[in-house]
């Protein structure tokens, strides 16, 4: 599950960056281009992606069996 969390976090960060670039009209060609609300939404998605990424990267693997 750790790898899944890291991948999901990275994907959210990439999507957030794309939304910011579209929202500030740097990346035109979409209905989101030039609409600042999508830049704000992209920032929120980046923060969520960072939280998911950091929580997944810091999680220790589960211990299988008793410790000796």
pLDDT tens per residue across span 12-25: 999 999 999 999 99
* 65 contact partners, CB below 8 Å, separation of at least 6: none
Q: pTM to 2 decimals?
A: 0.81
Is residue 33 predicted with pLDDT exceeding 80?
Answer: yes
Every domain of the chain and the residues it spans? 2-58
**Residue 37, pLDDT score:** 95
Distances (CA, A) of 44 to 2, 25, 40: 22, 18, 6
- 46, 52 contact by CB (below 8 A): no
At 53, is the secondary structure helix, strand, or coil?
helix
Is residue 57 very low, low, confident or very high in pLDDT (cuts 50, 70, 90)?
confident
Percent residues over pLDDT 90 in the chain: 65
């Amino acid at each position: 599950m750790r790898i899944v969390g890291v991948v999901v976090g990275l994907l959210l960060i990439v999507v957030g960056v794309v939304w910011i670039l579209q929202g500030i009209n740097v990346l035109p060609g979409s209905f989101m281009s030039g609409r600042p609300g999508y830049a704000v939404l992209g920032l929120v998605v980046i923060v969520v992606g960072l939280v998911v990424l950091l929580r997944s990267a810091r999680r220790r693997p589960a211990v299988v069996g008793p410790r000796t």
